[in-house]
Each structure stands twice: as C-alpha cells, then as structure tokens.
C-alpha cells in the first residue's frame, strides 16, 4: 500500500513537471509567441526581464513547486532503480535516509534562493 502511494505521487509529480516545464519552455524559448511576458521587451533571457520575473510571486511559487516536484520525481525514480537491484534491507534503509536528507537539503537551498531573489 505504501509503495502504491509513493508511485501515485511519482505520477502526480511527473504531471506537475510536464505542466510547469512546458510553461517554462513557452516563456523562455518562445519569445515571438509570448513576448508580452517580457516586461522589459526583447528576449526572455535579458537581465532586465530576468529581474522583473524574479520579483513576481507567481514565478517564485512555480520555481519552488517545480523544484519540489522534480526532486521527488527524480529521487523516487532513482530509488526505485536501486531497489530493483535487490539490495539488502540495510542498504535500502541507507538509500531512503540519504535521499530524504539530500532531497530536503536541496529543497531548502533552492527555496531559499528563490525567496532571496524575490527580496532583492
């Protein structure tokens, strides 16, 4: 039952990644179609546009949600691959703890960066 819930979250985070990464690709790489989202004009990657986007709460939240979804999706997928190698229970426990600590650490660091950029 536990693995079913984890797998369901894996699928949900895959959907979130699909939506938010599509939005990212649209905004960052389709300047001709959605140039209106570039408040300073020009290309999406120009510094003025980057600064304006980084100050908007919408982008901060989407970056944090995408970060959390990508970390869960990637780490759970890697965990599943490792567990399919029939590793011993002690190693499975180590992998779980390592991924939890590493994932939370990376999430905190990325969230801090997204919030810090908004405050600048």
* CATH classification of the domain holding 102: 1.20.1300.10
Domain region containing 85: 2-119
- At residue 120, the pLDDT reads 73
Q: Does the pLDDT at position 110 exceed 80?
A: yes
CA atoms within 13 A on the CB side of 15: 6
- At residue 35, the pLDDT reads 67
- At residue 46, the pLDDT reads 82
Q: How many domains are there within the chain?
A: 1
At 33-58, the pLDDT tens digits run: 766 667 777 788 888 888 888 888 99
Read off the tokens for 84. 């399919």
Q: What's the DSSP call for residue 45?
A: T
Dihedral sign, CA of 62, 64, 70, 72? negative
């Amino acid at each position: 039952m536990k693995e079913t819930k984890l797998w369901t979250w894996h699928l949900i985070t895959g959907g979130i990644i699909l939506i938010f990464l599509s939005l990212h690709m649209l905004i960052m790489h389709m300047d001709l179609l959605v140039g209106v989202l570039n408040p300073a004009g020009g290309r999406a990657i120009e510094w003025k546009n980057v600064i304006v986007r980084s100050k908007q709460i919408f982008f901060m939240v989407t970056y944090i949600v995408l970060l959390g979804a990508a970390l869960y999706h990637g780490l759970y997928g890697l965990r599943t691959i490792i567990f399919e190698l029939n590793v011993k229970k002690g190693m499975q426990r180590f992998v779980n703890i390592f991924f939890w600590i590493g994932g939370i650490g990376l999430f905190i660091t990325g969230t801090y960066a997204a919030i810090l950029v908004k405050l600048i």
